[in-house]
Structure 1
Amino acid sequence: MRLPEPSAYKRSVLEQAAELRANIRAGVYRGTTSGHAPGLVQGNVVILPADWAAEFLAFCQANPVACPLIAMSQPGEAALPGLGDDLDIRTDIPEYHVFRDGQRVDTVSDINELWDQQMVTFVLGCSFSFEDALQRAGLKVRNIESGANVSMYRSNIETVPAGRFHGRMVVSMRPFNSSDAIRAIQITTRLPKAHGAPVHLGDPALIGIDDLSAPDFGDAVTVEAGELPLFWACGVTPQVALENARPPLAITHVPGKMLITERLNEELAIL
């Protein structure tokens, strides 16, 4: 299935993203994608052998807030035509983590040498999509303003197990003053495929986070006096589930370095 002919706005957005996509594929750009490709859906990626795919699909279906599924490939399908006409999952992410038996063993710039006809790709919605919506509403997103990756933490919130996949939720954090926090909740609630509304706000200790200055993934950002930290479910959650399930091989994006699709964020929003 090919995507419909894009509108003038979408053509403009795609043109802005084309150079970044080319640089990622060529190995020139390896940075975070937060704040890049405004307006376009970004995706978390999990790639598994076909005989593990059904269990992971069940895990996503049981945990739609942390793992909002937006695409699943057929075995061996490197293209994702529902997400773009020119996507190649083997090359189009800035960096990939490689897991063997649940242990991260490598970080690579492409997965051509690892690819075979039994690989199944899952693309899950990402909070970077709602960052664009927040900015378009006039809200300031601290990690983008700081030129940093978003702060991500392992929480004590349990996911719903499915087969061998289980574990605690990873959350991303962005600070806002109280009035902007209310607006941020309203905006992200309309984007369930980008994790939707926050799962927690306020005291991080209540969800098992001891120190906001020491994220488990990404970069620390400043929380100013009078600001509330807001926590959203994060697409790094599947990487924790992979550690527990221990498939013989799994490939994911590096946290903060996402797949940029050719779908508009508004196409996945609840109107």
Structure 2
Amino acid sequence: MTRIDAKFEALKAQGQKAFVAYVMAGDPDYETSLEIVKGLPCAGVDIIELGLPFTDPMADGPTIQLAGQRALDGGMTLQKTLNLATEFRKTDQDTPIVLMGYYNPIYSRGVDKFLIDAKAAGIDGLIIVDLPPEEDEELCLPAQAAGLNFIRLATPTTDDKRLPRVMQNTSGFVYYVSITGITGSAEAEAGDVGPEVARIKAAGNLPVVVGFGINSPEKAAAITRVADGAVVGSAIVSRIGRGDTPAEVLAFVKTLADGAHSN
């Protein structure tokens, strides 16, 4: 059982939903990023999504793209991202970390070496947005064999024919992208999301967490009424980008977590 599996079991036993926060590793710099990441659990975050900076983030909107560019400009690398996770694990052995990004940096490092290093750093799961199920032998299957969850995205365009293939080797949870398009481009609507979550849950036995378009405590609360959890990324990253202090960022995250946990 991974930390992700254990977290969802514990939340279910408490009758709670999950709040997942996304931040870009190294944004705006390594030390500030580490301070924010270390503070996320006390702000109510159940699972941390740690963005891996990449030069061509095709699924990300302007807010996340700019965060990645700030991190890259500050010298952030895959190794430094793993270093950040290692530092976090010195004081927190319980909060799951999901590394979210693109395949190119992992491929460049070598899959076998990456998986050994990621496991050693305390990474629990991967979301690699540009690896479809047809490429499972590249990373998904080796990752699962190494004890890491491989979390797949489902979208409003994932029809009933495609969904079983998406679910086939997914573990940990399913990340439902509530809108079509890039991150930060629209707002999620619980009325639209609810039936889709039910459809995905019927196709497998995994928690369904909803992301994209959640930018307020009220929106987080609405989503967790119909899903197993809510992810907030762009709204948090935008606060970092405008220069909020770590304390201010974490105070905002706390309001989102309280909203998500209100059901």
Q: Tell me the TM-score normalized by structure 2.
A: 0.31
Larger RCO, structures 1/2 (Cα 8 Å, 6+ apart) = 1
Bigger proportion of residues as helix: 2
Larger radius of gyration: 1
